[in-house]
Amino acid sequence: MSAQLSQNMLLAVPMAPLVGAVVAGFFGKQVGRRGAHSVTILGVLISFILSVMTLKAVINDGAHFNQTIYEWMVVGGLKMEVGFLVDGLTAMMMCVVTFVSLMVHIYTIGYMEEDPGYQRFFSYISLFTFSMLMLVMSNNMLQLFFGWEAVGLVSYLLIGFWYTKPTAIFANMKAFLVNRVGDFGFILGIGLLVAYSGSLNYGEVFAKKDELAQVAFTAPLWGGDWMMLTVACICLFIGAMGKSAQFPLHVWLPDSMEGPTPISALIHAATMVTAGIFMVSRMSPLFELSDTALNFVLVIGAITALFMGFMGIIQNDIKRVVAYSTLSQLGYMTVALGVSAYSVAVFHLMTHAFFKALLFLGAGSVIIGMHHDQDIRNMGGLRKYMPITWITSLLGSLALIGTPLFSGFYSKDSIILSVHASNLPAAGFAYFAVVAGVFVTAFYSFRMYFLVFHGKENFRHKPFPGEHDHHDDHGHHEPHVPHESPWVVTAPLVLLAIPSVAIGYLTIDGMLFGDFFKSSIFVNETLHPAMHELEHHFHGAWAMALHGLQTLPFWLAVGGVATAYIFYMVAPAIPATLGRVLRPLAVVLENKYYMDWFNENVLARLARGLGLAFWKGGDVALIDGVLVNGSARTVGGIASLVRLVQTGHLYWYALVMMLGVIGLMTWQLWPFIGPQLKALFGLGL
């Protein structure tokens, strides 16, 4: 244990938000609205300050902490513990989670000002922060699974926060069920590792990685040997596919927009959806031993990065555009994991957390200004009404598309370069997907930006939802106009815009090519040379930005922005014409690749049919019909036969006893009288 990291200080990091959640949740009426937001913000602020102190100790003093806090129980030789592992990866995640959460907490004061569930919402988001901190700080798979399930539970509560709204209830149930599919794979992966290593502790499992890589077992259905570690890593990644919304388990994330905007920012930027990326990075010593698992990760990430980006092009709900952007960027992170560029994936996780939280909160500010109208077709020209929201949203969009010198450029271009340097079989397809995705990202991002902040003021032609047009004393039309949000909304936007611009430039050298992740992430550079090639061509952040101006991704991004400007500012008839010409493709996108239809009409019916078969055939027919009721009927049948000889008459019982005695005597004497009788009847009688 390092002197700079005390157990009590680390314990206070997750406990402070938990205390705030308990106070706001159970004593919300007593403390009131001001008390609820004060105690939760104070808890997250304490957690953020302690996280910064932890990060400082890790960077400056090489501090490290790996210790059990509490031993829950021992089953056989298996220890189930609560413990913390703090290294560069953990410290970075702690700071990202707590900073974004703090901004969301402050923002919520303004966004949820008139909501009757004000205290409940603050309790949920503070509990969400606690859950994510327990996940990232864990030193064992039991605590990892606890945090994994806890963020899933609280996301269910938050997505369905407006529980009187049918679409919200459908969305939170959808998120919960889809994540159950992923979590089933996740717990199978953990179970395999525990069964063959005999431990839940990361360090003890990683120490046996070479032994685990030699274990194989026969495939249950079609024979052949399966490598245990490959199966375990794929199962773990299936869990990541659910939490980090990778194809085909991505379907829950767009629907999660039914929850309030602050939680959209918290879920999609820094907490739940990053859990899968973090987990695979933490398990890098295991994934490095299976090229099959890495190729699987790479293909899934590439599909998600490109095809979820296409979905952003046709969305008209401002939050759903940003949601599909999140899906696409998570695909980029997953691609980086697949080529063993784990530090690049986590680097993009960090930069993305800031600019995606900024874009979500900026969208929420627009929604406030538009009196809760979320359709970007009803906006336009908001730049002059909402200047702070405008400039911060522009900075977030520039970071998202990978503009040189912005944070997103350093992480996104590093992903593209690392994929190009990979020698895995799936790297060619992945490279095409991430490069093509640059144009797609720039197009849908600036489509939204131009339609919201520039061009024609479409809101002047219709009232906002739930409102009526006003008229002055002369009967002239007096439409409502948007307005800038209060400071509790705009201040977090400004504070998030700063790292969205600068954090990549300031940290790329240390995070990707220094020793920051040395004790956290393991890469076999002999087999997977992507990071080695990346370091070989890196000559500093400034040189990388200058070189970025000459690369294909930069000009694809410029092309995407220019195309969006022409389509929606100069010649708005073009998109409508293309929509008619490419109608079959548009129908596919509008139906979300028919994934919802497939899940609801094929998988759900198949599951219901299977359940019905198990119910009628297994439970009713076999268990109840044969085993339970069948045994009862057998006993009843025997009893009915026995009942025939139970007459209650004494002479009947005497006769039976006499017949019984005669029968016994005959059986005992048969060896003696049998031969005589046989001889007698053998005479022909």
Query: E strands, 431-580, where?
Result: 470-471, 477-478
DSSP character at residue 483: -
Residue 640, burial from CB neighbour count under 10 angstroms (0-12, 13-18, 19+): exposed
b/e per residue, 39-77, with b = 16+ CB within 10 A? bbbbbbbbbbebbebbbebbbeeebbbbeeeeeeeeeee
- How much is the pLDDT for 222? 63
d(CA 434, CA 305): 7
User: Which CA distances in Å does 331 have to 53, 170, 290?
Assistant: 32, 25, 20
d(CA 291, CA 382): 50
Spatial CA neighbour of 284 closest among 348, 222, 233, 247: 233
- How much is the pLDDT for 1? 41
d(CA 293, CA 238): 11
| Strands 477-478 vs 78-86: parallel, antiparallel or unpaired | unpaired
Q: Categorise residue 684: left if φ over 0, alpha if ψ from -120 to 50, beta otherwise.
A: left
- How much is the pLDDT for 472? 44
Q: Which residues pair with 74 in a beta bridge?
A: 79
| Contact criterion met (CB below 8 Å) for 242 and 175 | no
d(CA 607, CA 244): 24
d(CA 406, CA 399): 5
b/e per residue, 209-243, with b = 16+ CB within 10 A? beebbebeeeeeeeeeebbbbbbbbbbbbbbbbbb
| Contact criterion met (CB below 8 Å) for 259 and 168 | yes
* pLDDT < 70 positions in the chain: 1-4, 219-224, 460-480, 682-685
Three-state DSSP state, 227: strand
d(CA 348, CA 417): 13
Global pTM value: 0.86
Spatial CA neighbour of 266 closest among 390, 147, 361: 361
